[in-house]
Structure 1
């Protein structure tokens, strides 16, 4: 092939490479927080499957369409490399969610805290489902985005009491309502301090003087929709700062963001519980999709100077919610 003849395959490969990088690693262009790339990279598992199918399809097409064989072969090669790279990212983050069937089946050490986060989808899961999760897994901290005050309080009662009940709602919509239960064994907590950026019911509670429990933040970030990207970025940054800014913090809930998105790219001195347990590629939304296809957007963050992650589990779909509950077990470090 003449040098001029190579121009078409080279140009096709270059264009495919630019698009592939934008899909599998938009961070390279500073676009992981931009509408479009942010949504695509959140579904990395789907892009791996789609990329593999596309690479095979284009390779077969290259064998059939002789005039365009080299350009198509170049594109197939680029897509294959990008797919392998993205699969490697998933593998490195981990697909091995810890399996905990009940509180009785898990070892519980002194000082351990069980953190449950569950977006109940417009209050739809109901207090019975929430209470069942609490009692089954022995949760000490329960974060409930999209949950009414009534459901939050009723779930605490059905779970046997022993919780301080907190709730914050930004407006009349249930989407902006977030509940939080904190076991009284962790101490006494003061009134909620809401997210000043106007997030969907996110807030922080701190222990009262004389109590040594950890600061706890319940998170529900705006989703990254076309008209709310700035709010989404502000909410996720605020949530991560809550973890970084107070010693011993625990921050949990629906971040509507994965580890590919800007706010979660740099967490130190905090840690993502799923990443610590090689489960950060296990999808939590939507609950009806296979775990490998969904987006891991529900998180438990903890100050790694104060907490060690014992386990992290993505639980089965519950109560018709579009989110899977997540459960992290933390114990004091050192």
Structure 2
């Protein structure tokens, strides 16, 4: 092989390697919070599936275009290696979730998070989920005050109902139900910079329930990357900076994204139960292909995660509900 072809081969391999890093581990280049890489890495399962097919197609192309075959073979090799790496990451995070435990244990708190998609799931669907899972805390992004109230009533009304709407559209509305068994809570404290209705409630004097934050982070669209980063950082800080905190909802982010890379002393419930690779959006896709963007975080000093479930699609929402079962640590 001539020096010129060796140079072409090396350049092809290097460029393919850089592209592979951007796709499967953009945090290595500081790009996991940037438009493009942030969206691609969120769908890790889908890229693994595509990467499994791509090397075969590239080699077939190399055999058909003989003069350029070695650079193409190098690209195929890099693609295969990147796919294996990404597959190992996905499997290490876990793709299966727990079944919903039947019996409650003393002190146990069950946290349900469900983005109802423009209020579309409806109060009956929400109430059925709450009843079936035995949820004590229910976070409902994209849900109206009326649906939140009606869902609480349909479950028997043993919940304190909170709601915050940051703008005029339903996407900026978030509901929260907190079981009366957890005590009395004060008024919602909204995210001061968030536009989609995230807020925190804290136990009133004399109550010893956990601080709870309901999250709906801005999606990482081309014109809103800074807002997305700010929203997710705020949500994680609510957990890291508050003893005993529970933070749940639609983060529009996965463990590959900057805000969720460092959670200590908090823990991601899905990661604690080897289910952090199971996608929650879009609900119509298999969980291995979707993006795990709905989370429950908990202060690991106060809570042990004993179960995490990605539930079946419900009510036509594009998000799957998730349930975390927490018990007092120790």
- What is the CA RMSD across the aligned residues, in angstroms? 0.8
State the Cα distance separating 1:286 from its structure 2 match: 0.5
Q: Secondary structure at 1:282's aligned position in 2? A: coil
Unpaired segments ≥5 residues, structure 1: none
Q: Which residue of 1 aligns with 2:270?
A: 274
Q: How does 1:304-315 map to 2 (within 5 A)?
A: 304-315=300-311
Are residue 252 (structure 1) and residue 251 (structure 2) matched? Answer: no
How do 1:214-293 residues align onto structure 2 when only pairs under 5 Å count? 214-293=210-289
Partner residue, 1:27: 27
After superposing on structure 2, the runs of 4+ consecutive aligned residues of structure 1 that deviate more than 3 Å are: none
CA distance in 1, matches of 2:96, 2:195: 31
Contiguous gaps of at least 5 residues in structure 2: none
**What's the counterpart of residue 78 of structure 2?**
78
* SS of equivalent to 2:138: strand
Deviates more, 1:65-74 or 1:215-224: 65-74
Q: Which residue of 1 aligns with 2:326?
A: 330
Determine the C-alpha separation between the residues in 2 that align with 1:138 and 1:95.
Answer: 24
Q: Is the 8 A contact 2:45 2:288 kept in 1?
A: yes
Shift of 1:99: 1.8
Moved more, 266-275 or 1-10: 1-10
Correspondence list, 1:33-72, <5 A:
33-72=33-72
Give the match for residue 313 of structure 2.
317
- Normalization by structure 1: what TM-score? 0.97
1:179 aligns with 2:167: no
- Report the Cα distance in structure 2 between the residues aligned to 1:21 and 1:246, rounded to whole angstroms: 35
Cα distance in 1 for residues equivalent to 2:166 and 2:308: 30
SS in 2 for 1:153: helix
**Which of 291, 297, 310 lines up with 1:295 in the alignment?**
291
Q: Give the aligned partner of residue 98 of structure 1.
A: 98
2: CA distance, partners of 1:215 / 1:199:
21
Cα distance in 2 between the residues matched to 1:71 and 1:126: 55
Residues paired across the two proteins, number:
330
C-alpha separation between the residues in 2 aligned to 1:8 and 1:143?
Answer: 54
Q: Does 1:207 align with 2:169?
A: no
Tell whether the 8 Å contact from 2:246 to 2:298 is kept in structure 1 after alignment: yes
User: TM-score when scaled to structure 2?
Assistant: 0.99
C-alpha deviations, 1:266-285, integer Å up to 9, x for none?
Answer: 00000000000000000000
